[in-house]
């Protein structure tokens, strides 16, 4: 059973379909791995093993089994970020306000995954309301990086990233507003995809028309991410911005990849953010390897000079719309940063919002024109390596001091503002042995092309074969 955790999601799906193993075997293997590693990592604080086994029996014995249909996943256990409701399972949103909350229904994404053969085995830790790029909260505490347990795993999908990297699960859900899929993927050396808005349908949200935050897949390699995206995407009438699934599967795109012809790389997106020179050098070396696939690699990027102002306004407005009603009567029960966000948003004027939306429109015009000439844009996924788990956020890089706790991930939220799909791909390690991620950005609604290019780069780099990793404490290094 212990060897099952070392297989890819696609490999275990194949074994499930051939009848070599059952979903119950995978749940047992996952449970054993969680028991062995979670005390050090704290990635999955809430488990629902009885519920998972009940679901497994339905897959094995119910109508779907009789018809020989188990969806894309066939019974693979997965983790769901603790921002997403799972009916009957404790869901806290990382906040003491909801420490004992048991939802009466599931998010559409969860329902879609379960309908396609995914089995929810537990809830993955996240910072309070998913705000912040270090995963800790007052309900469950800190989640630690398996590569070095003294370091952060990033956030806000940190528990999801760690559960995948350490072999507790084969797949996990994440969400991303500013960096929340991409930073933990980079810090844990897994793959995290921020899809286009609408690619994964959402529900049980106060802002159904919002297109800043999205939900997406996290896995140990690109092919497994493509498989999971197939299992979680599709149009749903309850989500007004949801998109239909493409005619060709995302898995087909990675199994039959076409190399990009012309790709762009930028160390710092035109100077909008400082980047650790070691991180930038590792990412640049990886990006240049696209030339081995016949691609022309050039240093270039769109004009992002006003993206910081755009994102600050839209993020603050989104925060008020999403959490304002919850927080007004509970100001003394949440983190100081959460209230700071609320106050920033409430000071906005209609003119502030109008100006930001117009500027975002101009940004998209520039970006779409850029992608008429390039197939991909690559940058570092993060500007630093994983840092001390006791540090809430980075405040200074390369001599530049940030004015707030989230500007250190400008390099990722700049892409959020464009609505383009973006993926963090493991691309190397620092001198200290900590993971580095390459952010690869695709054309509008171009997840298939993005995944195809990423799988070809993954094959060149060979890093995905190093997972799952056993937790490494500083004393073991």
What's the pLDDT at 25?
97
pLDDT at 44: 98
The whole-model pTM stands at: 0.97
Pull the structure tokens for residue 55: 């679901």
Query: Is pLDDT larger for residue 16 or for residue 64?
Result: 16
Question: How do residues 420-457 score in pLDDT, each as one tens digit?
Answer: 999 999 999 999 999 999 999 999 999 999 999 999 99
The pLDDT score that the predictor gives to residue 61 is 87
Is cis: bond before 374, omega within 30 of 0? no
Tell me: pLDDT of 68 over 60. no
For residue 413, how many other CB atoms are within 10 A of its CB?
24
User: Is the bond preceding 166 in cis, omega lying within 30 degrees of 0?
Assistant: no
For tokens 């910072």, what's the residue?
Answer: 127
**CATH number of the structural domain spanning residue 123:** 3.90.1300.10
Q: How large is the greatest C-alpha to C-alpha distance in the chain, in angstroms?
A: 63
For 460, the 3-state DSSP assignment is: helix
Mapping DSSP onto H, E and C, the string for 402-465 reads CCCCCHHHHHHHHHHCCCCCEEEEEEEECCCCCEEEEEEECCCCCHHHHHHHHHHHHHHHCHHH
Structure tokens at 335: 């983190």
What total number of domains does the chain contain? 1
Sign for the pseudo-dihedral over CA of 467, 189, 13, 107: positive
For the chain, what is the mean pLDDT? 96
Residue 278 confidence (pLDDT): 98
> Tokens 């800190």 label which residue?
142
Q: Which residue did the predictor score with more confidence, 474 or 212? A: 212
pLDDT digits (tens, 9 = 90+) for 323-340: 999 998 898 888 888 899
Residue 157 sits in which domain range?
2-476
* Percent of residues, the chain, with pLDDT higher than 70: 98
Bridge partners (DSSP) of residue 378 are: 265, 440
- Quickly state the pLDDT bin for 465 (edges 50, 70, 90): confident
CA atoms within 13 A on the CB side of 36: 16
């Amino acid at each position: 059973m212990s060897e099952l955790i070392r297989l890819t999601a696609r490999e275990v799906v194949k074994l499930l379909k051939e009848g070599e193993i059952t979903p119950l075997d995978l749940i047992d293997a996952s449970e054993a791995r969680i028991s062995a590693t979670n005390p050090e990592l704290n990635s999955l604080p809430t488990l629902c093993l009885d519920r998972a086994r009940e679901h497994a029996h339905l897959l094995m014995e119910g109508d779907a089994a009789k018809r020989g249909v188990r969806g894309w996943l066939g019974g693979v256990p997965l983790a769901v970020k603790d921002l997403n409701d799972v009916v009957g399972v404790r869901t806290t949103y990382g906040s003491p306000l909801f420490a004992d909350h048991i939802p009466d229904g599931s998010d559409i994404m969860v329902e879609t995954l379960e309908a396609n053969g995914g089995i929810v085995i537990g809830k993955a830790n996240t910072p309070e309301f998913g705000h912040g790029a270090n995963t800790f909260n007052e309900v469950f505490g800190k989640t630690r990086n398996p590569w070095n347990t003294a370091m952060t795993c990033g956030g806000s999908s940190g528990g999801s990233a760690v559960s995948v990297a350490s072999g507790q699960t084969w797949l996990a859900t994440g969400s991303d507003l500013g960096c929340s899929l991409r930073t933990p993927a980079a810090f844990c050396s897994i793959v995290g995809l921020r899809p286009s808005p609408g690619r994964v349908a959402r529900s049980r949200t106060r802002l159904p028309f919002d297109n800043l935050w999205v939900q997406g897949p996290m896995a140990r390699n690109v092919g497994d991410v493509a498989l999971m995206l197939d299992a979680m995407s599709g149009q749903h009438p309850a989500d007004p911005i949801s998109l239909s699934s493409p005619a060709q599967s995302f898995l087909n795109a990675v199994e039959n990849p076409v190399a990009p012809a012309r790709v762009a790389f930028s160390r710092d997106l035109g100077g909008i953010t400082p980047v650790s020179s070691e991180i930038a050098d590792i990412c640049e070396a990886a990006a240049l390897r696209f030339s081995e696939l016949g691609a022309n690699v050039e240093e270039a990027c769109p004009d992002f000079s006003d993206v910081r102002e755009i994102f600050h306004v839209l993020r603050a407005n989104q925060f008020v719309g999403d959490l304002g009603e919850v927080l007004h009567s509970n100001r003394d029960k949440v983190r100081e940063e959460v209230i700071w966000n609320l106050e920033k948003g409430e000071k906005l004027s209609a003119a502030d919002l109008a100006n930001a939306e117009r500027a975002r429109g101009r940004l998209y015009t520039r970006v779409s024109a850029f992608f008429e000439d390039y197939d991909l844009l690559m940058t570092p996924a993060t500007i630093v390596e994983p840092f001390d788990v006791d540090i809430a956020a980075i405040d200074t890089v390369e001599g530049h001091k940030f004015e707030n706790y989230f500007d250190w991930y400008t390099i990722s939220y700049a892409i959020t503002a464009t609505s383009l799909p973006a993926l963090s791909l493991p691309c190397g390690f620092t001198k200290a042995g900590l993971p580095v991620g390459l952010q690869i950005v695709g054309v509008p609604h171009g997840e298939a092309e993005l995944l195809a290019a990423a799988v070809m780069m993954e094959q060149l780099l060979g890093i995905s074969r190093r997972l799952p990793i056993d937790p490494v404490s500083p004393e073991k290094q």
